[in-house]
Each structure stands twice: as structure tokens, then as C-alpha cells.
């Protein structure tokens, strides 16, 4: 069983909703990016989703777009992002999923990417804009290397494509609870439960739901239907606001513990 599989097995045994945290590699810089990953793990995040900075992140709202811009300006690349994962991997217990658009992977070369990701200790890979119909080559490269292919599903994903993603995917399936780009919202999308139930109807794979989740009550609500909640823009915004101060890691730690219900107030 993969590390991701063990994470979700433990969550189910504990009856707990998992927390998947998204950050952009290299934001605000590579050194602090490594410190943030260690902090997320220490604060109790179950899966660390490491976004590869990209110049044209079409599915991302302004918060994560600005994070990519900051990371690219600081010199972040796919190679340096994998180097950060390799550096922190011996120090963290959480599973690590690399989240990328296809272009950086193709520019590096699929074979080289998979080798370097495996060497870095990456547990899963999600290529956001890779159509499920064209995912066989990626899956066939990842699985022998011990890396779980993760697939993204939306409210408009057809039942046929749901079944295809379930057949190809490993680790967990990532459901986006609303259409449009990433960003913080006041409430969990009305279609989140229906999407989770549709996914449950075709697979036993764990489900993580994201897009718009940024508060502990959102995490608790998602946990009624899914195995984990994904928090991205809220965390990335927290990092942006604290990046010029001396207590970045402490702020990130408090935010994650607040999401998990350990701190009653976000400070």
C-alpha cells in the first residue's frame, strides 16, 4: 500500500476528516517554502499538495496566480520544486502530491519527471489539464515508480469519465465542489455532496473535496460526505499576508490547527 493509501486507511480507522493543504512551491521563496512544508506536517496536515508554479494557471483564481508569479520571480522551477520535496521528505510524515499543469512535465520529459519525482519521495501526481482520455501514458509511467496518479473530477464530469478516473486513479480522487477557478468562499458549494455521492457510486477510492474551502466549519461539513477536505487559496493567502513578517511559520501553524478545530480562534 502506498503512503497515501496508508494515510486514508488511518483516517478511516480514526473516524477523522483528513486535511489536504495546497501551497505553491517557491512561494515566497525556496528556503521558506521548505520551512512551510515542514510546518504543515507538524501542524497535522495529512497530505501536502505541492503546486508547481506555472505562468498560465487557467484553473486558479487570483490568490494562487499571484503565488505562482511570486515563485517564478524567485526562480522556482519544476526541478527546484522537486528538490524542495526531496529536502524535506526525510523530516515529514505526511504524503506529498505534486500538482502541476502538463507543460512543465512535458518540458522536463515524462520519463525524467517520474524518475526525479520518485527519487524526491513524491507519493502522488495530479496533472490538472491532462484529459482523462490521454492519461494512460502518465499512469503507466507513475505506477511502476510507486507514485499514485490522482485525477480531478468536477460536477460536470460525466458518469463515463468518473468510471474511467476511478479505474486509472490510485490513492484518492480529487473532487472540485464548484465550477470556475480556485478561491475562498463563504460556504461549501451546494453541489459538493452530490458530487461526492456520484463518486462513491463508482469507486471505493477515498475522496478529497476542494475549491472554496477555507474555514473549520467547511472542513467539518465536507467530512460528512468525503474523506478529506482540500484547502488551497485560504492557506496561500495566509502565507502571502505573513511572508514579510518574522513569524510566517507560526502563522501557518496556527491557521492549520484552526482548520482542524484545535484553535478556537484564528489569530
Catalytic residue positions?
A: 49, 60
Nearest to 143 by CA among 167, 108, 162: 167
Q: In whole angstroms, what is the distance from residue 9 CA to residue 13 CA?
A: 6
- Answer left, alpha or beta for residue 165, where phi above 0 means left and psi between -120 and 50 means alpha: alpha
Q: Kindly give, in sequence order, each residue whose CB lies less than 8 Å from that of residue 47, ignoring residues fewer than 6 positions away.
A: 4, 7, 18, 19, 20, 21, 94, 95, 96, 97, 124, 208, 228
Nearest to 212 by CA among 241, 183, 174, 191: 183
Q: What is the side-by-side strand order in the sheet with 18-24?
A: 148-149, 124-127, 95-100, 47-51, 18-24, 228-231, 207-210, 173-176, 151-153
CB of 64 closer than 8 Å to CB of 240: no
Q: In whole angstroms, what is the distance from residue 230 CA to residue 202 CA?
A: 21
> In whole angstroms, how far apart are CA 7 and each of 151, 171, 207?
18, 9, 12
Q: Bridge partners of 126?
A: 99
Q: Bridge partners of 230?
A: 20
Q: Bridge partners of 77?
A: none
> In whole angstroms, how far apart are CA 242 and each of 49, 93, 148?
20, 25, 33
Amino acid at each position: 500500500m502506498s503512503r497515501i493509501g496508508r494515510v486514508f486507511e488511518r483516517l478511516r480507522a480514526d473516524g477523522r476528516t483528513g486535511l489536504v493543504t495546497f501551497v505553491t512551491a517557491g512561494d515566497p521563496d525556496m528556503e521558506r517554502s521548505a520551512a512551510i512544508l515542514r510546518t504543515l506536517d507538524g501542524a497535522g496536515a495529512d497530505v501536502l499538495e505541492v503546486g508547481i508554479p506555472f505562468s498560465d494557471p487557467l484553473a486558479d483564481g487570483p490568490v494562487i496566480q499571484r503565488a505562482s508569479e511570486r515563485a517564478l520571480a524567485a526562480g522556482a522551477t519544476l526541478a527546484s520544486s522537486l528538490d524542495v520535496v526531496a529536502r524535506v521528505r526525510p523530516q515529514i510524515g505526511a504524503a506529498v502530491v505534486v500538482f502541476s499543469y502538463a507543460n512543465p512535465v512535458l518540458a522536463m520529459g515524462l520519463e525524467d519527471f517520474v524518475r526525479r519525482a520518485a527519487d524526491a519521495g513524491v507519493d502522488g501526481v495530479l496533472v490538472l489539464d491532462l484529459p482523462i482520455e490521454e492519461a494512460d501514458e502518465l499512469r503507466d509511467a507513475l505506477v511502476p515508480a510507486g507514485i499514485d496518479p490522482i485525477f480531478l473530477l468536477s460536477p460536470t464530469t460525466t458518469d463515463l469519465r468518473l468510471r474511467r478516473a476511478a479505474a486509472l486513479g490510485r490513492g484518492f480522487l480529487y473532487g472540485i465542489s464548484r465550477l470556475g477557478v480556485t478561491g475562498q468562499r463563504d460556504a461549501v458549494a451546494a453541489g459538493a455532496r452530490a458530487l461526492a455521492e456520484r463518486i462513491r457510486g463508482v469507486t471505493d477510492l477515498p475522496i478529497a473535496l476542494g475549491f472554496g474551502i477555507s474555514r473549520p466549519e467547511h472542513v467539518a461539513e465536507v467530512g460528512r460526505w468525503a474523506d478529506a477536505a482540500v484547502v488551497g487559496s485560504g492557506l496561500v493567502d495566509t502565507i502571502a499576508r505573513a511572508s514579510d513578517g518574522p513569524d510566517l511559520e507560526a502563522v501557518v501553524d496556527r491557521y492549520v490547527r484552526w482548520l482542524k478545530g484545535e484553535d478556537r480562534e484564528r489569530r
